[in-house]
Amino acid sequence: MKILVINTGSSSIKYVLYEMANNNVLANGSIERIGENRSNYKYSISSKDFEKEFKKSLTIKDHKEGLRNIIEVITDPGNNLLKDPNEIEAIGHRVVHGGEFYSGAVLITENVKSVIKRLIPLAPLHNPSNLEGIEVAEHFFPSAKQVAVFDTAFHQTMPSKSYRYPIPNYLYENEQVRAYGMHGSSHSFVTKEALKLLDKEEKDTAIITIHLGNGCSMSAVKGGKCIDTSMGLSPLAGLMMGTRSGDIDPSIPFFLGTKMGMSFQEIDTLLNKESGLKGIAGSNDMRDVLEKRDIGDKKASLAIDMYVQRIKKYIGAYIAEMNALDALVFTAGIGENSSVIRELVCSELNFLGIEIDSSLNEMKIKSNHKINSNESKVQVWVIPTNEELEIALQTKKLIGN
Ligand code: ADP
């Protein structure tokens, strides 16, 4: 069975074509800067006896043209992947916001599309382009099943005491203002991997998943179900991130508006695009920040201290919420690659039973690996995330049913 996973952003399309018999990636690629003069177009193909890398700059005016380009690549006889698009049994779409409507993958119908549309106010940057991706895919793949996999779905198991904000009821009841959480496919993927690695029944497990990419979020997962997560109504909440502030005093936007005359739009940009590592250290890329810190840059050093301290705070909070912890799981760009950040996060947590083994932590392994010391009560794992595979697996499971 072949499944195509599509992740459509406002000016980009990323895709992966899978052979689900062995979860093999047949082709993957991306088109960025759609609608600009020069779009960046790249893909790689790896099928039996055939490898190809392709990178080009060309003009792609909209998502429809982008997807047409992708179809041309995957059906090109020279690429030896598909004879025609009908060989793709299903398309798994990443959709950012499913609100309270979806706690799992769903077959896309007109009704599902209208719900995704209705949720645009909660994800104004993402749901419109996700919807566009669905409509373009329906046009080009009329016989494939179209499936939506929501970033928010994994967190729908949170109890109301976790997802409600202490603000007047009508804001939840009429406007659905509550915490939804994001990065659900990643937290779900690494949780499932961790559950396979723990020698315990799922119902008795307590796991904290730490996704540290450009965006950063953490989840408390008890008995295999998310009971709390650090992102909220939007991805701005929680940890310090590449360019997002994470949790700040909610009165800061009033201060920025009244004292500094900033507009809502300017405050939004400041907190989402100019803050986090970038706001403190001048770069949103953790590699740059670590390099600057190593040559004595005080701002970079402060940024790292702040970044690590916030992760520690959530670890403490989630242990208290779960009254247990079997495993701490690091994932995504920083979580998977930065032994320095993992070491700093886990240092001086021995009171909580968390201790890592420095030499295991330093090992550069691209697959699941355990980095805790023998004395540690809690297992500490590095588990590479795979959001696209998670979307493909959920799509397969749904259409299988
Ligand atoms: P995205 O959220 O865009 O998918 P990624 O999961 O790719 O992001 O993570 C990007 C982050 O990972 C960047 O801050 C980058 O600096 C960081 N990163 C990647 N490799 C390393 C490394 N070896 N050491 C430290 N940080 C790294």
**Angle formed by the axes of helices 298-322 and 286-294, to 10°?**
120
Distance 285 CA to ligand 1 centre (A): 7
Per-residue pLDDT at 36:
81
CB 13 within 8 A of CB 6: yes
Count CB-CB contacts under 10 A for residue 59. 13
Span 286-302, mean pLDDT?
Answer: 98
pLDDT over threshold 70, residue 49: no
With a pLDDT cut of 90, the percent of the chain lying above it is: 80
- Answer whether residue 37 shows pLDDT above 90: no
CA atoms within 13 A on the CB side of 203: 0
The answer to whether the beta carbons of residues 382 and 330 sit under 8 Å apart is yes
Active-site annotation holds for 151: yes
Answer whether 286 contacts ligand 1 (Cβ < 6 A): yes
pLDDT tier at 287, thresholds 50, 70, 90:
very high
pTM above 0.85, yes or no: yes
- Catalytic pick among 49, 76, 84, 151: 151
Is the per-residue pLDDT at 85 higher than 90? Answer: no
Sign for the CA dihedral angle at 64, 389, 125, 278 comes to negative
Q: What architecture (CATH level 2) is domain 201-382? A: 2-Layer Sandwich (3.30)
Does residue 166 have a pLDDT over 70?
A: yes
Token pair belonging to 223? 């008995």
Question: What pLDDT score was predicted for residue 393?
Answer: 97
Q: What are phi and psi of 162, to 5 degrees?
A: -85, -40
pLDDT band at 41 (very low <50, low <70, confident <90, very high): confident
Query: Is the per-residue pLDDT at 401 higher than 70?
Result: no
Domains 2-150 and 201-382 alike in fold: yes
pLDDT higher at 11 or 288: 288
Domain extents for the chain? Answer: 2-150, 201-382
216-268 pLDDT per residue, tens: 999 999 999 999 999 999 999 999 999 999 999 999 999 999 999 999 999 99
DSSP 224-239: TEEEEES--SSTTSSS
Q: Ligand 1: which residue has its CA nearest to atom 3?
A: 214
CB distance 276 to 240 below 8 Å: yes
Instruction: Provide mean pLDDT across the span 56-73.
Output: 84
272 pLDDT more than 70: yes
Contact between 291 and 224 under an 8 Å Cβ cutoff? The reply is: no
Q: What is the mean pLDDT of residues 178-184?
A: 97
Nearest CA to ligand 1 atom 27: 334
Per-residue confidence (pLDDT) for residue 70, from 0 to 100: 86
Q: Which atom of ligand 1 is nearest to the CA of 284?
A: 14
Token pair for 178: 């509550």
The structure tokens 């939840």 sit at 172
Residue ranges of the alpha helices (H) in 82-159? 110-118, 127-140
Edge to edge, what strands does the sheet with 327-331 contain?
Answer: 225-229, 216-222, 206-212, 327-331, 379-382, 369-370
One of 3.30.420.40, 3.30.70.980, 1.20.840.10, 2.115.10.20 is the CATH number of 2-150, namely 3.30.420.40
Q: Is the CB of 285 under 6 A from ligand 1?
A: yes
